[in-house]
Every structure is written in structure tokens, then in C-alpha cells.
Structure 1
Amino acid sequence: MPFPDNGNIDQFLDEIGRTPLLTAAEEITLGTSVRMSQSPEATPAQKRAGKRAKDRMIKANLRLVVTVSRKYLHRQLGQLEFGDLVQEGSIGLNRAVEKFDPELGYKFSTYAYWWIRQSISRAIDQTSATIRVPTSMNLVLAKLNQLPQGLNDEQICELLEVSDTQLKNLRHAFVAKRIASLDMKLGADRDGSTLTELLCDEQSTLNYDEFQWEAVKRSLGDQAKIALNNDQELLRRNVVDEQSLQSIANEIGISRERVRQKVDRAKKHLATIMIEHRDLVA
């Protein structure tokens, strides 16, 4: 099964949804086969069997990769798209299959979760800053951010088990991680303006008499139409305002079926959010 790029993610999700999950007995059997194939004394037949077992374990657990990737999708600044997160998580899953020892008695999904999360976290760390900071230093930075306020340098060094010089380097790394590229796209979907486009040119002059106000008015009007056609707005009008689908369709100039599709899509999106945050609304 090919890993997804950001263009065919829906097809990928559909394919892994049809792959059956493994039972506990199957995990033990397949995991044992993978470990036997890694032995220096493994026969060619055992290596082939181990490769088939590894492929089956990966395919059966790709849904776990998708679940973890979704949790990290909104915990970053948008530097990695969903397909990228899934690919990084799949690398961790591959490593988990190779290291899994069925004789220890724990479920494979429990073991694989940490490998998947580690792989995604490291990928985010490596791409989140313009100046790359080593992963080992990122781990110490995370501990530094969790320390209580008001500690002096001596207390911080003692708690983190670092020297004064290392603490200075950590603070330099913290500053480096906060440097942003002027070409970075803004917005949750990375389709907004760049930082460069928002910088003010202090030497430029604007003739307000010749400014194209009509073009601005047309643009604002277009944006208002887009807002009216937004899925969430249509859902609000249909459910909260109790406006019929046909009435909404007549008002914004699209078919009733199209309105129904957009309302259904908004409902599914809302349901997904509620499921991901069910611990907060329970």
C-alpha cells in the first residue's frame, strides 16, 4: 500500500479502513515471525515470511498512525501537512514492528503508539524553526519550559543537570526556535499572506484620491458572499435559525442539493471535533 501524499489522502484513508485489525494471537504470531527473520541464522524462507508479517502488521496499524497524526495536526504552526505527519508516523510504526517483542506480553498498539508519537514529534521539531535545533536539545528545552518561575540560574542548572555554559546555549537555542521566515505562510491552512507582504514600507506613499476604492468594495463583496456560502454558516442557518434548505439555496444562488451536501459536511466536521474532544464534553 503506498503511503499518502497530500493529494490522495482520501484514497489512502479509504484503503486502510478496509484492512482488518489484528487479534492478540495474530500479533504474537506475526511479531515472532518478524523477530525470527532478523536473526543472523534466519533462512531465506524465514526472511520472506518475516517480510510478509511485517507488511501485514504495518498495514493493520496504519489507522493508529492516522489517529496520532490528527492529534498533532493542530499542535504545530502548520509546517507539516496531514499527509506529511502520516508519513512520519509510518516511519515510527515501521520501527515499532522491528523492535516489538511478543514475549513481553503487552499489546502491539500500546508499544507502537510511543514510536509513532516520537517520530512525528521529532519531525515537527526539525521543521518548526528556521534554525534547526538538535533533538536532544529540544528535549531539554521542553523541561526548561516546564520549570516554575522565579528560579535562579544555579537552581535551573541543578534541576536540569547542566552546566552554566550549557544553560546559555539552551537560551540561545530557545531564541533561535522563535525566529520565523519572512516567506512563512500565515493562516491555519497555510494559504494566507506571508510575513513579507504584511511588512509596512515606510518609504512608500499612497494617493488616497487615486486609490481603487471600487476594487476594494468589490473584493469585500466577494468575501461576504464566500462567508455566506461557508459550511458552518449554512449549518447554523439550517439548525439554529431553522431556515429550510430550499430557502437558503434560493438566497445564495445554489441548488438545494448542494446546500444539503455542505450542511452534512459541516455536521460531520463538528462530530469529528466532538469525538476528538469527548473527554472535555463528557
Structure 2
Amino acid sequence: MSSDDAATHWLQQAGRQPLLTAAEELHLGSLVRAWQDHPAGPEQAPARITRRGRRARDRIVNANLRLVAHVVRTMRPGLGRQVGEADLPDLFQAGAMGLMRGAERLFSTFGYWWIRQGVSRWCDSSSRLIRPPSGHAPKLARLGRIGEELQRQLGRQPSRAELAEALGMSLRDLDLVLTVGQSCCSLDQPVAGSEDPSPLGAMLATPGAPEPDPLIMELRERINALPPLQARLIAGRWGI
């Protein structure tokens, strides 16, 4: 199934889900609350309460899938080129997961924001080769915002100490956030600005690697000049 077909199928399924009446919302919400607010915690709640709570949560989510589609379509133009039409099924799924978290908290009118949060987190994680911890995303956003404000005020790039003071964190915590925010690149990509087609990984030195023995290198060159069968026999016999 193509991404377009998957998105269309998702929207069709969302449109088939019946809406809830106000009385149904109250009843289902009470079942979710009984599960989530159980004195022993939702993970330790009795099986009957857990089963009813999860079914109620799923009904709330299914009845609000149209809201997920609306939020994703509204957010789509502002997500930039990093998210294309092929990503719509994943965006719908991320929004539905956010909606599920909101349903467990009986989100009421805040379902919109739970969906947005789910979509935003998916976009942030999918744009990186290495996914940062979700808790660092707000810190990175705040760091970027305050860093720009300080640069405008000072007329220069703020120092690490100035950034840490403005953010109210230690230099160690700031360095951790900065490290998480660094972009990644593939070692297989060609070196920028170089006519050599070798990948970046081939240009990097291996720490602690011994220098190649000139005598071994010369022997390998001479062996490679032999007929293939002789070269394999000699190399295999002497382990060169």
C-alpha cells in the first residue's frame, strides 16, 4: 500500500467512527479516571478496572480521530520540507498517540494540544539520525530562543557562561543540551568541497591505530602483482 493509499485509508476509517454524546463522554471519562486514579496506580489496578478503562480510552480516541486529521492538516504547511505527503500516515499515527495520552488524562478541550505535541515530537525525532530523549526537545527550543535574544541584545554570540546564566542551568547541563542538539552526518557521505570521491569515514584516522609497516605494504604490492591464483596461495600461506 502506497503512502497516499495509507493516508486515504486512515481518513476513511476516521470518518466511519461514530461521535460520542455528552452523556457517553462523561461515562467513558469516569471509567478512564477510575483506572488512571486507582490508589495502587494504573499499572497495578485490578484487571476488570484496567480492561474497562482501556476500552473507554480507545472509544474516546476512535471518536476523535477526525480531530487528529484536522490538526495534522492544519500543522502540515508549517512543518516545512522535512515532512512530505509520504509522511502523512506517520503524522496521523503520532497524533493519535498524543490523543491517547490526552485521553488517559481526560483531556476535555485540551485534546488539540496533546495531538500537536505528538506530531511535533515525531517531526523532531524523525529529522535526526539519532533520536534525542524527548525531554530535551523543550530545552533545545528554549536554548535556541534565548540564544537568539541574547545575540540581539549583546550584538555578538553569547558565551557559554552567559547562556547558562540566562537559562538558569549549570555549564555541565548546558553542555549536555548542546551535545544533544548537534546535528549528525553519515560517514558514507562524500567529503564536501573535495574532488576525491572517498567517503568521510575513509578520511578519519583511527585513534590508537599502529602505523602501517612499510615492509608489509611492499610485500602486499608485490603479491598483488602476481597471477591471482599464486597471490591467493602466498597470502593464505603467510597470512599477508
| TM-score category (smaller protein) | 0.5 to 0.7
For normalisation by structure 2, the TM-score amounts to 0.60
Identity of aligned residues (%): 36
* Deviation, structure 1 residue 60: 0.8
* Counterpart in the other structure of 1:191: none
SS in 1 for 2:28: helix
Which of 78, 83, 86 is residue 89 of structure 2 equivalent to?
Answer: 83
* Counterpart in the other structure of 2:212: none
* Deviation, structure 1 residue 120: 2.2
SS in 2 for 1:162: coil
> Which range moves more in the overlay, 116-125 or 165-174?
165-174
Which of 99, 102, 123 is residue 96 of structure 1 equivalent to?
Answer: 102
Quickly say closer, same or farther: Cα 1:129–1:12, change in 2 above 3 A.
closer
- Counting only pairs closer than 5 Å after superposition, residues 45-56 of structure 1 correspond to structure 2 as 49-56=52-59
* Counterpart in the other structure of 1:118: 117
Quickly say closer, same or farther: Cα 1:83–1:158, change in 2 above 3 A.
same
* Counterpart in the other structure of 2:234: none
Residue correspondences, number: 179
Q: Distance in 1 between matches of 2:136 and 2:51?
A: 40
SS in 2 for 1:135: coil
Could you give the per-residue CA deviations for residues 43-83 of structure 1, whole angstroms, max 9, x where no partner exists? 83x55544443232111111111222234434151387110
Segments of structure 1 that go 5 or more residues without pairing to the other structure are: 101-106, 184-194, 205-282
Q: Distance in 1 between matches of 2:195 and 2:173?
A: 41
Quickly say closer, same or farther: Cα 1:142–1:96, change in 2 above 3 A.
same
SS in 1 for 2:119: helix
- Counting only pairs closer than 5 Å after superposition, residues 86-165 of structure 1 correspond to structure 2 as 86-100=92-106, 108=108, 110-147=109-146, 148=149, 149=151, 150=154, 151-165=158-172
Q: Distance in 2 between matches of 1:172 and 1:42?
A: 43
* Counterpart in the other structure of 2:174: 167
* Larger radius of gyration between Structure 1 and Structure 2: 2
Does structure 1 retain, via aligned residues, the 8 Å contact 2:10–2:89? Answer: no
Instruction: Tell me the C-alpha RMSD between the 2 structures.
Output: 3.4
* Deviation, structure 1 residue 98: 1.7
- Residue type of the partner of 1:111? F
Which is bigger in relative contact order (C-alpha 8 A, separation at least 6)? 2
